[in-house]
Amino acid sequence: MRVSTRVEYGLIALTDIVLHSENGESVSAPDISKRQHISHKYLEQILLHLRQAGFIRAQKGLRGGYVLTCPPDQIALSDVLNALDQNILARMDEKDDPDGLGAVINDCFWEKINSNLNRYAKETKMSDFAQQCRKQTEENWDLYVI
């Protein structure tokens, strides 16, 4: 499965905001850009999509940046994916030959994958997803002391 960079980076950016705003602090775009190695210009476009979808809001001032508009346990992963790309969780189109092998493969394979992806995305909240990401990055971190 291929997803667009907008979806990939949007999920990364929102997860970064969830992880770095746990105490109500705002998260700046330059900080996200630097931590996640995303072009600042492209990140601003993605943050605009997330803002228009109502997940984040911009906060101006000395400690300005982005904050969540609601708690992360109220944001379903499916809502984020759909806001960034409405086709990512869409059903596969039926082929011209509804009785052909393509239709059978669609039913036996693609529909099952799509169903599982949809179920996971609907059941998973950004708070849980961010914690899974945090846990995995901590487990993969090797500390060398010299």
Residue 71 resides in a domain: yes
Residue with tokens 């960034």: 84
Q: What is the CATH number of the domain that holds 115?
A: 1.10.10.10
Residue numbers of the domain that contains 114:
5-139
pTM of the model as a whole: 0.83
**Looking at the 3D structure of the chain, how many domains does it have?**
1
DSSP assignment string, 53-109: TTSEEEE-STT-EEEESS-GGG-BHHHHHHHH-TTTTPPPPPPS-TTSHHHHHIIII
pLDDT tens by residue, 87-120: 777 765 555 566 788 888 878 888 888 889 899 9
